[in-house]
Structure 1
Amino acid sequence: MSKVIIITGTSTGLGISIAVQAAQAGHTVYATMRNVEKRAALDAATAAAGVSLNVIALDVQDGASVDAAVEAVRAKEGRIDVLINNAGVGFVRSTEQATEAEIDWVMDVNFMGVIRCTKAVMPHMRQARAGHIVSITSVGGLVGQPFNEIYCAAKFAVEGYVEGMASYITPSFGINFTCVEPGGISTEFAPSVLKHVTETGGMLEDEYLPILQKYIGGASTRQAGSDIYQTADEVAAVVMQSVDAVEPPIRVRTSKWAEEFTALKTGLDPDGKKLQAKVVAQFLS
């Protein structure tokens, strides 16, 4: 069945792949981005795939922008079936080196952005007693990693938020929640993170420098010929599998490497359904 889908962060990388695959599957797609003047890459991808979709402005850091975009879709389509929270930013710096403004930015885009968008669609989905909210997190939302503690904290926050919502919204109102947890993605995401490091003072000369150099140096080795990294299309395919599932998982990894990397935390309950049932039984029975 064709669904009305809103996707955030579709000007680059994974967002483009999700939007194109959703359109190819016959869904009515609203691809959103903060600045619609940056839609050239999305337009090129949709033209190459021979599909069409709707492009509208939505800034996940601006509640009024989020509400306006959601209301525009609801007014035109009469419903919103799926929200895909894809917009996000990476960040590599130790806590001591990070400014409070940088920390606020990472948390606002990656966590508060998810909350703003989710809050905006919830009344419509609750009224319909149906819907699906998919949030792109990361293996970094399950496993903390060097110099990524602020980024990981934001993704851990989304994971906890989704688990909490799934514990009572799903059984009460039929709205499903899913965290999609990729490992590395071969897009401009990682280079943009390193660019941010360069533009905000580079590698600072302190005791963290040799550790950071080891981490940065290893990143190139990990990317070359490694199964850590997937293409955006491969990750998008997992997203669409979750969207099309009759019983969507609460969490899903996107590769064999991601499964192995997170196995100590996910091995007993890979899709999160057992824990959901336990929480429901503990608090709502």
Structure 2
Amino acid sequence: MKKNVLITGTSTGVGFESAILFANNNYKVYATMRNLNKADKLKERIAQESLDIEILSLDVTKIDSIKSAVETIIAKDGKLDVLVNNAGAGFAKTTEQASEEEIRWVTEVNYHGVVFCTQAVLPYMRKQKSGQIISITSVGGLVGQPFNELYCGAKFAVEGFMEGLAAYVSDAFKIKISCVEPGGISTEFMTSAIEKTAVEGQFTTGEYLPIFERYMAGNQKRASESKESVYQTGLEVAQVVLDVAKNENPPLRIRTSQWAEKFCELKTKADPDGTKLVQQIKESFL
């Protein structure tokens, strides 16, 4: 019997590529997205390649939407093997200049969505005594970065959430827990991040302007000088996600490129995949 996988945020980027890649590797894929009007590109690939993919509506900021999608999968298959928490959104703005609405939004999309999707699948995985939860976080979940502190804060939260889960659900219920940590990705995620960046007057004046200009210049320099080493395609990251899903003993943490590995080295050198830390947590608390 095929394993089935629920992937959030599949209209573009890593989620889109993951849906196709998993389907081509003998998974039944439930590809979810907030706005089904953005499903045309995926529908075309499904038709062209006769892929075993079903598209469902799922808004990670709405609990009823999450529960409905999970219940649909259980009603059809009676099980859920893999959850890929992919949906997220970039955001770059100073804490001082971000609105209350923006702060709540970036946390809701990037952290609360992961928690509520995970909460929705856990009862079924616990009862079947098997399952896997993979959250696509970021190097920003390990290393805070200028003008990205609100985004990084949400991703740090995901890392802590997943680490805490791994300490007890893996042994007790055979549920595997992993964080996939990309660096730069050349997808519409970056476009989204730029759109959410304050470029319409927010940084054109004031004391933040010279810092922001240096930040943007550094981004542009990295993009032009080392695009191949810094920026991955959505497909390259999706391949890492698939590899983790197929791994009988997946790591808690895995970076997706040499650049990401080097960028996080000071945080990860003592325990690159998180295995030692999880074992220490178990010994300390359980």
1:44 is displaced (CA, Å) by: 3.3
Aligned to 2:79: 79
Paired residue type of 2:147: F
Could you list the per-position Cα deviations for residues 238-269 of structure 1 after superposition, in whole angstroms to 9, with x for gaps in the alignment? 00000000001111000011111111111111
Picking from 228, 244, 247, the partner of 1:245 is 247
Counterpart residue identity of residue 238, structure 2: A
Alignment of 1:65-104 (within 5 A): 65-104=65-104
| Deviation, structure 1 residue 225 | 4.3
Question: What are the residue-to-residue correspondences of 1:106-255 with 2, within 5 Å?
Answer: 106-197=106-197, 201-226=201-226, 227-255=229-257
Give the aligned residue type for 1:83.
L
| Paired residue total | 284
Is the aligned partner of 1:60 residue 2:64? no
Fraction of identical pairs, as percent: 51
Counterpart CA distance in 2 for 1:275 and 1:75 is 37
Q: Unaligned stretches of 5+ in structure 2?
A: none
The answer on 1:266 being equivalent to 2:272 is no
Kindly indicate whether residue 275 of structure 2 is the aligned counterpart of residue 276 of structure 1.
Answer: no
Cα distance change on mapping 1:46 and 1:216 into 2, 3 Å: farther
Distance apart, 1:203 and its partner CA: 2.5
Do the aligned partners of 2:182 and 2:256 also contact (CA within 8 Å) in 1? yes
The answer to whether the 8 A contact 2:93-2:198 is kept is: no
CA distance in 2, matches of 1:14, 1:179: 14
CA offsets per residue over residues 161-219 of structure 1, 9 Å max, x none? 00000001111111011000000001121122112235765434110011111111222
Q: Residues 90 and 196 of structure 2 are in contact (CA less than 8 Å); yes or no, is this contact kept in structure 1? A: no
Contact preservation (8 Å) 2:181, 2:254: yes
1:97 maps to a residue whose letter is: Q
Decide which moves more: 87-96 or 223-232.
223-232
Q: Could you tell me whether the CA contact under 8 Å between 1:180 and 1:252 is conserved in 2?
A: yes
Paired AA for residue 68 in structure 1: S
Is the contact between residue 182 and residue 235 of structure 1 (CA under 8 Å) also seen in structure 2? yes
C-alpha distance 81-201 of structure 1, shift in aligned 2 (>3 A): farther
Structure 1 residue 46, shift from structure 2 partner: 3.7
Q: Unaligned 5+ residue runs, structure 1?
A: none
Q: Which runs of 4+ in 1 moved over 4 A?
A: 47-50, 198-202
CA contact (8 A) 1:197 1:203 kept: no
Cα offset, 1:50, TM superposition: 4.9
2-side partners of 1:28 and 1:187: how far apart? 24
Does structure 2 conserve the Cα–Cα contact (< 8 Å) formed by 1:20 and 1:49?
Answer: no
Tell me which residue corresponds to 1:5. Answer: 5
Amino acid at match of 1:261: F
What is the TM-score with the length of structure 1 in the denominator? 0.96
Q: TM-score, normalised by structure 2?
A: 0.96
